[in-house]
Amino acid sequence: MVVVSNLGYPRLGENREWKKLIESYWSGDISQEELDQESKVLRLANLKKQVDAGVDYIPVGDFSLYDHILDLSFQFGIIPKRFAKEEKDLDLYFAIARGDKDHVASSMKKWFNTNYHYIVPEWSKTKPHLTSNHLLELYREAREVVGEKAKPVIVGPVTFVALSSGVQDFTAAVKNLLPLYKHIFKDLVNAGASYIQVDEPIFVTDEGADLVEAAKCVYSYFAKEVPEAKLIFQTYFEALIDAKELSQLPVAAFGLDFVHGLEENLEAILSGLFADKVIFAGVVDGRNVWSSDFIKTTELLKAIQENVAEVVVQPSCSLLHVPVTTKNETDLDPVLKNGLSFADEKLVEIKLLAEKLKGIDNPAYTQHIQNFDKLQAADFRNVVLENLDNVPTQRHLDYSQRQLLQQERLGLPILPTTTIGSFPQSPEIRRKRLSWKRGEISEEEYKEYIKSEISRWIKIQEDLGLDVLVHGEFERVDMVEFFGQKLAGFTTTKFGWVQSYGSRAVKPPIIYGDVKHIQPLTVEETVYAQSLTSRPVKGMLTGPITITNWSFERTDISRAQLFNQIGLAIKDEIQLLENAGIAIIQVDEAALREGLPLRKSKQQAYLDDAIHAFRIATSSVKDETQIHTHMCYSKFDEIIDSIRELDADVISIETSRSHGDIIESFETATYPLGIGLGVYDIHSPRVPTKEEVIANIERPLVQLSLGQFWVNPDCGLKTRREPETLAALKILVEATQEVRAKFGKA
C-alpha cells in the first residue's frame, strides 16, 4: 500500500482571508469571539481541501494566529520576563510578537534558510508548564471533518530549545519539556491519533550533529513513557545530519527531504540504514513553484520503496512556503501556468505519484509529463549567459580614499540620519494603485498621485531634520515584486501570496527565463524626488541575491548564473541613476544571510557567488558615488568577513529586536566601512523612547568610530502607520542631535 501525507498547509487563504481577519482584530473591527469563529472556518476549509485532494495523513496544528513556534512558547508558559505580570490572554500572545506601548517585541528570526520568520522563545528561570493542550483541541476539531486522517503536528523538543534564547542549560531545558510533550502525546493517542508528526529540522544542520545524544535520550523517553504513540521524526530543508545514528531512534517513522537533501538521504536509504523503517518521503518540492519531473521522481520513489519497509509520499516540507493555488492565475502564459505547482497542485502531484507507484495509470499523470516537457522546451527557457570578462568587480579606490571624495561631495554631518527606503503605504495609496490596475484612473493620474506623495514626504523628511532622504517607494508593492514586474525573465502572479511573518504576506515573482534590464526601473521617481531638495536622495534598488532568494527561482540553471544575470541588470540601473546625478545608491541585500546553505561545507561557495554578483552590480560606479546596502534578521557573526568583502560604502543592519546581540558581531571584529545599526524596531507599532534610541546609538560607538556610524531605523517603514512613523523618526533625530552634542559635534 502507498499512501500520501502532507506536512503543513498555507494559512493565508486564497485571497489572504487569514491576514485580513487578524488585522481586523488588531484594529478593533472584530471581537475575539468573531476572530475565533472565522479562523475556525478557515482551518476547517483547509482540512476539507486536503480531504478532497485524497491526502491520507492531513496535518493538524500547522494553523496558527501568528506563528507556530510562538504557539508552543505560549502553550508551555515560556513568556518573556518583561511580560510576566500581564494577563495570559490573546492580547498578550500578540504583544509578544508585535510589542505594545510598554514592552518591546520578542526577537524574530528566519525559519532556517526560508523567508518565513518565527518568534524566538525567550527562556527565563520560570519552569515550563502546560497551560493548555491546544493541539488536542485542534485534533478533536479536525476529527469531525477528516476522521482518522487527522495527523497532529508539533515542533519537537530538541529543535524548540535549540531555536530559543536565554537557555542556560540545554539538557535541563529539554528534560523540563519532556513531561509536557508526554502529556500532549498521551492525550492525542487517547483521542484516536495514529501518527504524530514531530518536526525536528535542527537535525539537518551542523548544530544537529552535536545534539544526536539528546535525540536518543528524548525519543527513548517517549518510547518508554508513551509506547503507543506512533511518532514521525520529521526533518526537512536538507539531509539528515547523522543518518547512521539517528536511524536507530525508537520512532515509528522518519520524514526525509529528497529534494533539498536528495543525495545524502538517498545514499542513506540505499545503504540499508532504513530497511525496516517507514519513510515519509518528501519528493515534491515544498519551497518552489515548479511542477515535479514525474519520470525522475517516480524512479526515485521506486528506489526508496525497494529499500524500506513502507514508503509514504509527501512534499519535502510544509506547503506554508508556497502560494495556495494556480487556478486563479488567469493571465499567465498557458505553457508557464501548466508548469507551475502551488500548494493545491502539489497535493495532486503526490496523489498521482503514489498511484503510479501502486501501478495505477491515471491519464492526469501522463498529462502532467506532457505539460512539464512543454515548459522545458519553451523558447523562454533558452539560456544565454553574457560574457563577464570586461565587467568590473572591484571599485577603483579603496574605502578610505572613496570616503573622502564622498564626504566632499555630500557634506554630511557626523552620525548622519536616514531611513531604509520605504514609507507607510496608506489605504489611500493602495486604493489608488488598485484603481490604476483596474483601469479606473489613467496612468498619468496615477503617476501624478505618486509624485504628490513623494513631494509630501520629501517635505516631511526635511522638516524632521533627516540628513539623507528617500523617495518613499510609494509606486512599489514590494521590494522584489516591483523589480520582477520590470525585468525580462520574470513574471508576477495575481494571488501568489506567501506568509513572511505574522500577517505580513509577500508575492514573490517567478523567474522563468533569462533576466535582462530592458527599461529604467527607478529613475523617474528618484530623480523627481532629488529635484525637490538640496539634500541627497538615495536611489533604492534590491540586490541580485535578495531578488533571487525572495523569488521563486528557475532551477534549470545554476544559482551562480542566476545571481550574475540579475547583477548585470542591477548594474545597468545603477548606471542610469548615476548618470542622472544621484550621489547615493542603496542596493539592498536583506536576504543575503537567509540563502546561506544550512551546512558549513556548502556555505563558502554560496557566499563567494553572492559577493561576486553584488560586485558585478556595484563596482562600475565612480568613486564619489556612495553605495549603501541593507540586511536584516541574521546571525551576522557567521558571515562578517563576507559582508566586508561586499565593499559597500555603508551597510545598515537590523539590531533592535535582537536587543543589541547583533552589535557584538561588529564590536568583536574590525569593520572598516560605514555602518548603520538599526536603532529602533519598525516591525512593532510601538514608538521607542528617546532614551532607548540614545542607548542604541551610543553602545556601538564604544567600538565604532563617529566617522563611520549612521543612524537609521532597522528596516523599511512600509508596513507602519504614518503617526507612529513620524513620532519614531522625530525621536530618532532628536536622540541623534543629543549624542552629537555629547561628543561636541552638534
What's the rounded Cα separation, in Å, for the pair 732 and 678? 10
Please answer whether residues 613 and 563 qualify as being in contact, where contact means their C-beta atoms are separated by less than 8 angstroms: yes
Exposure string of 81-117, with b = 16+ CB inside 10 Å and e = fewer, is eebeebeeeeebbbbbbbbbeebbbbbbbbbbbbbbb
Contacts of residue 456, Cβ cutoff 8 Å, sequence gap at least 6: none
Please answer whether residues 487 and 724 qualify as being in contact, where contact means their C-beta atoms are separated by less than 8 angstroms: no
According to the annotation, is 238 in a ligand binding site? Answer: no
CA angle (355 as vertex; 353, 358 as ends), nearest 5: 115
String of DSSP letters for 126-144: SPP--S--HHHHHHHHHHH
What's the rounded Cα separation, in Å, for the pair 543 and 566? 8
What's the rounded Cα separation, in Å, for the pair 347 and 341? 9
According to the annotation, is 217 in a ligand binding site? Answer: no
Please report, for residues 330, 439, 505, 667, the alpha-carbon distance to residue 588 in angstroms, rounded to integers and kept in the order given: 32, 32, 19, 23
What's the rounded Cα separation, in Å, for the pair 373 and 384? 20
Would you say the C-alpha torsion 730, 732, 738, 740 has a positive or negative sign?
Answer: negative
Please report, for residues 252, 313, 552, 554, the alpha-carbon distance to residue 489 in angstroms, rounded to integers and kept in the order given: 45, 33, 12, 10
Beta bridge partners of 651: 629, 675
According to the annotation, is 421 in a ligand binding site? Answer: yes
Number of other CB atoms surrounding residue 155 within 10 Å: 21
What's the rounded Cα separation, in Å, for the pair 73 and 70? 5
Exposure string of 638-647, with b = 16+ CB inside 10 Å and e = fewer, is ebbebbbbbb
According to the annotation, is 17 in a ligand binding site? Answer: yes
Whose cell is 533569462? That residue is 514
Contacts of residue 736, Cβ cutoff 8 Å, sequence gap at least 6: 415, 417, 697, 711
Assess whether 612 carries a catalytic annotation.
no
One-letter amino acid for residue 397 of the chain: L
One-letter amino acid for residue 141 of the chain: E
Contacts of residue 19, Cβ cutoff 8 Å, sequence gap at least 6: 12, 13, 497, 503, 505
Cell of 700: 556601538
According to the annotation, is 630 in a ligand binding site? Answer: yes
| Residue 191 burial class via C-beta count within 10 angstroms: exposed 0-12, middle 13-18, buried 19 and up | middle
According to the annotation, is 420 in a ligand binding site? Answer: yes
| Residue 357 burial class via C-beta count within 10 angstroms: exposed 0-12, middle 13-18, buried 19 and up | middle
What's the rounded Cα separation, in Å, for the pair 264 and 370? 30
Number of other CB atoms surrounding residue 48 within 10 Å: 13
| Residue 455 burial class via C-beta count within 10 angstroms: exposed 0-12, middle 13-18, buried 19 and up | middle
According to the annotation, is 448 in a ligand binding site? Answer: no
Q: With CA atoms as reference, report the closest residue to 248 among 217, 205, 216.
A: 216
According to the annotation, is 654 in a ligand binding site? Answer: yes
Contacts of residue 712, Cβ cutoff 8 Å, sequence gap at least 6: 417, 418, 419, 420, 652, 676, 678, 679, 732
Reduced 3-state DSSP string for 707-730: CCEEECCCCCCCCCCHHHHHHHHH
| Residue 313 burial class via C-beta count within 10 angstroms: exposed 0-12, middle 13-18, buried 19 and up | buried
Beta bridge partners of 315: 284
List the catalytic residue out of 68, 117, 321, 683. 683
Number of other CB atoms surrounding residue 236 within 10 Å: 26
According to the annotation, is 18 in a ligand binding site? Answer: yes
Output phi, psi for 614, to 5 deg. Answer: -65, -40
According to the annotation, is 225 in a ligand binding site? Answer: no
Please answer whether residues 241 and 205 qualify as being in contact, where contact means their C-beta atoms are separated by less than 8 angstroms: yes
Binding positions for L-methionine are: 420-422, 473, 588
Residues noted as catalytic: 683
Which residue numbers belong to the known binding site for Zn(2+)? 630, 632, 654, 715
Known binding residues: 16-19, 110, 115, 420-422, 473, 550, 588, 594, 630, 632, 654, 715
- Give binding residues for 5-methyltetrahydropteroyltri-L-glutamate as ranges: 16-19, 110, 115, 550, 594
